[in-house]
Amino acid sequence: MTMPHEPAVLLVHGAWHGAWCWEEVRPELRMLGVDTMVVALPSTGDAEQGLYADARAVRAAADAVDRPVVVVAHGYGGLPVTEGLAGAPNVVHLVYAASPLLGEGEARCAVPLGDGRLVMPPEDAAQVMYGDLAPDEVVRAVARLRPHSLRAFTELLTRAAWRDIPSTLVLGDTDRSLSEDLVQRSVARATEVRRVPGGVSPFYSAPAELAAIVQEAVRRVAPQAVKGCVA
């Protein structure tokens, strides 16, 4: 049973995805007694929106919760979390799932990905993102991918929430989406590092394992120690 002031979990999707990608993780967390919420990033499908718009959306979602919040971000979703949650008084832990911990002045891509304003999902998304899933699951997931704003990939971070908020970096055993240098920098910046089976999409390939890691973060938090929250 969830206590009134036990932390809730805010789930933030990555590039090309939507809140739908958490459909297997949310039931796992529910069975563990953890309340979840999702946020839709404005930069998905909208070339006018970028990292900063996404960061505002994530911050607004966290600010709307009247208790401590553990935030879980996948892939690109870690960037608006890093940008938007610096100084957030009720955010008590960050979980970066297949997501780099970038710092001020960094972006997901150092150079533009092309001349267009929207970045299409990778042509090999079926293999790169979902290569460890059953064929019918792959087809269903790929069909729901949408273009993503180029601005989201190139706008520079101005703040880094992980500097002040404890964090867990979750890496898939077979994930090669991040360069070795980026993995090492992220490992050095994270409070702890955990590994799960599978690749870059643990919300599908390892939902139970990811949920267990998130629950651990929730259980470790002492709500009475969080500024602005009453135990």
Predicted confidence band of residue 108 (pLDDT cuts 50, 70, 90): confident
Does residue 97 carry a pLDDT above 50?
yes
* β 148-149/118-119 pair status: antiparallel
Topology of domain 8-221, CATH: Rossmann fold (3.40.50)
pLDDT digits (tens, 9 = 90+) for 195-231: 999 999 999 999 999 999 999 999 998 554 444 433 2
Q: Identify whether the C-beta of residue 65 lies closer than 8 Å to the C-beta of residue 90.
A: yes
pLDDT at residue 222, as a whole number: 52
Domain boundaries, the chain: 8-221
Give first-to-last CA distance, the chain, whole Å.
Answer: 16
Mean pLDDT for 78-83 is 98
Contacts of 181 (CB under 8 A, 6+ apart): none
pLDDT in tens, 153-162: 999 999 999 9
Give percent above pLDDT 70 in the chain. 91
Q: What is the pLDDT of residue 205?
A: 96
pTM of the model: 0.92
